[in-house]
Amino acid sequence: MLAFGGAAIGAPGKVSFGQSAPSIDAYDFVEITTTVTAPDARNPFTDVSVRGSFESVKDGRRWDVDGFCDSADGTVYKIRFMPPGAGEYRYSITYKQGDFAPQYSGTFRAVDAHRKGSIRVDPQYRWHFIWEGTGEHYFFNGTTAYWLTGWTDERIIRNVIDRLHRLNVNRIRVTVAGRSNLYFGEPVMTGKNYSNLPTPWPAEHADDFTHPGFDYTRFYIPLWQKYERMLAYARDRDVIISVVFDMNDNKVHPVAGSEDETRFLHYAVTRFSAYSNVTWDLGDDLEG
């Protein structure tokens, strides 16, 4: 771990960096955590950036990766990288707040643990898919569970994934944001243990269907962390999660094409794209 002190105006007291592990499986991810002591950014989601460059020592392939804030007060930032093959890797990370920009560099090794990896188009049969890590064919059998993370008791989330897995369902569509009324297809029983109003942004009135009072310049961290736990559990069972950005039938969402929408999409990608079992839903059949 390496630490930097900030003496300039608009700089935190200390910034330190730490790496998750010296060695990981190919198609798992390495995570570098930036810890900020005495943060003073007005808004850690807009006034600070964490960016990294990862490089394969073997062939020089390089990937530029953005990190994300993982705490409401700006004390924790993370950046993740999923190596697409075994080998040695090196990286450089920059935390930037105004003119204060400490850097950190490191190395790690990726080993071939025969993980299935990400889903790719089969280069020989363009209408087919394969697991990139092993080359095995992936036969699509999917369903939709938009509000899976609406359960407070996460054992239910895991039980749902396990049940679908036993039925050979290998892809589940799950929304990050969304607000649906109580009669989506059939009556929905909301209460203390379930809500179909996921709130990825801080809200003045999270349970208000039409006027939640979202602050689109910030993110509600517990919801995003719950979604990641769901992703990790599904990944361990070779279940793909197709990330639906927003399933919404009341028009409460960032304005299309706005900075708020761009920030939301960017944040989702920086948090989730290192999970090998993620695909992206960029549209929905409701608007067809």
Query: Do β-strands 14-19 and 2-5 pair in parallel, antiparallel, or remain unpaired?
Result: antiparallel
**pLDDT reported for residue 182:** 61
| Among the listed residues 129, 130, 227, 120, the one whose alpha carbon sits nearest the alpha carbon of residue 172 | 227
**Length of the chain, in residues:** 288
| Among the listed residues 79, 87, 171, 159, the one whose alpha carbon sits nearest the alpha carbon of residue 131 | 171
Q: In the structure, what pLDDT confidence band is assigned to residue 121 with cuts at 50, 70 and 90?
A: very high
Inform me whether the pLDDT recorded for 95 exceeds 70: yes
Q: What share of the chain is helix, strand, coil (3-state, %, to 5)?
A: 15, 35, 50
Chain center to CA of 11: 27
Inform me whether the pLDDT recorded for 271 exceeds 50: yes
| Among the listed residues 186, 209, 213, the one whose alpha carbon sits nearest the alpha carbon of residue 196 | 209
Average pLDDT estimate for 267-278: 98
**pLDDT reported for residue 1:** 56
**pLDDT reported for residue 288:** 41
Higher-confidence residue: 70 or 189? Answer: 70
**pLDDT reported for residue 9:** 47
* Lowest-confidence region among 20-29, 43-52, 87-96, 137-146: 137-146
* For the chain, percent of residues with pLDDT exceeding 90: 78
* Site of tokens 């892809």: 171
Rounded CA-CA distance 32/20 in Å is 6
Q: Whole-prediction pTM value?
A: 0.92
Inform me whether the pLDDT recorded for 8 exceeds 60: no
Inform me whether the pLDDT recorded for 285 exceeds 90: no
Rounded CA-CA distance 275/27 in Å is 8
**pLDDT reported for residue 4:** 58
Domains of the chain plus CATH, in order, are 2-111 (2.60.40.10), 119-287 (3.20.20.80)
b/e 49-86 (16+ beta carbons within 10 angstroms → b)? ebbbebbbeeeeeeeebebbbbeeebbbbbbbbbbbbe
**pLDDT reported for residue 5:** 59
Neighbours of 226 (CB within 10 A): 18
Q: What is the pLDDT of residues 200-217, one digit of tens each?
A: 999 999 888 889 999 999
Inform me whether the pLDDT recorded for 145 exceeds 80: yes
Look up residue 206 and give its two tokens: 């999270």
| Among the listed residues 94, 74, 71, the one whose alpha carbon sits nearest the alpha carbon of residue 4 | 94
Q: In the structure, what pLDDT confidence band is assigned to residue 66 with cuts at 50, 70 and 90?
A: very high
Q: What is the DSSP letter of 214?
A: B
**pLDDT reported for residue 183:** 57
Look up residue 217 and give its two tokens: 């310049």
Look up residue 14 and give its two tokens: 């200390």
Q: At what angle do helices 221-235 and 259-272 cross, to 10 degrees?
A: 40
**pLDDT reported for residue 107:** 98
**pLDDT reported for residue 2:** 54
